[in-house]
Structure 1
Amino acid sequence: MLNEALSQVATWLKEGKWQLSWRMSINVSPIQFQQAGFLPMLKAQLEKHDVPASCVDLEITENMLLNDLSSCLEKMNAIKALGVHLSIDDFGTGYSSLKYLKSLPIDRLKIDQSFVRDLLTDKSDEAIVHAVIAMAKALNISVLAEGVETLPHYDRLREIHCFFYQGYYFGHPLPPSEFIAAFVHDLPKPPLS
């Protein structure tokens, strides 16, 4: 999947359809992340496709940190040293201690859709979303809400200062050409080399 995603970003970069400030998010399984060869493979794929590391956001789950936190931290710091972004996916559903959150080299927390789905009808879910946003802001970590499927959800999240979103309200998965046609408009042309 990493090879395919980076290949697509490389193509879009060459075609002038991708901006260097954009990030391709790629889920990494706990098994893949724990493999000894993961970091060398990541470096090799970035070099192979000539994609800037800053264009990549690896998403890991908080449960992954349970197995061996010190080893995970070492690998996460090495990934960050490459310039790759890191996100904790499905945040709030795992079992990792909040005390470790301050030491993790992460850029973004992705609030699990189970909290977003009932945000408008369940005061407990709204309180959890508020708490995650406040905590992340205090730790200088970006927050993204997953599973935003309606305008009222989108409006409420903006009201409580969550400004990054993902979900069917914005679009469904698309093939690359349809994604570009639907979401990328009038990008500046890359400089001629």
Structure 2
Amino acid sequence: MKYLKLSILTLAVAFATSCKDNKKETEETVETEVEKTAEPVITKTEMKIKLDPKSGSNATGSIVFVEENGEVTMTAHLSGLNEGEHAIHIHESADCSSPDGKSTGGHWNPTAQPHGKWGAETGYHKGDIGNFKVDANGKGEIKFTTDEWCLTCEDSTKNIIGKAIIVHQGTDDFTSQPSGAAGSRVSCGAIIE
């Protein structure tokens, strides 16, 4: 009888300890799952495009678009250009097939605004990026961030997929309609998936 009571007591202690360990594992699992779901969701999409020469130029380059947290950042590295300032715009169509780049159509302007400097109160095209400087070695770069573009949304007034980047020989005067008198199209890159 004494051994029976001792055996029952040993089993009861083992059972209680086992339940306590299981409860601890369950609590830790729940805490871990809660912590995982509490993290903010960050979405990031990246796209790279190549710019090819047009209009008999040697202008080439590459552009990276990164969409993150509702903003798109464009970073362009260009070469083969004349020293000075050059205009860069988004055009209507991703068709860079013509030798002069005109197969891309006009500036991308989904909100039917007048041409102008980005952010101007008088209006601007969503494709009016602006001007960038090129050094004596023919190299230039520009970085541009906006929440008025997207790569993954369905909003036709923001989505730049299916459009093209055009680099111009001259500068954008931000006044002349419809495109800023920026001169010939010297480089083109299609923004396609």
Structure (1 or 2) with the greater strand fraction: 2
Structure (1 or 2) with the greater helix fraction: 1
TM-score normalised over the length of structure 2: 0.21
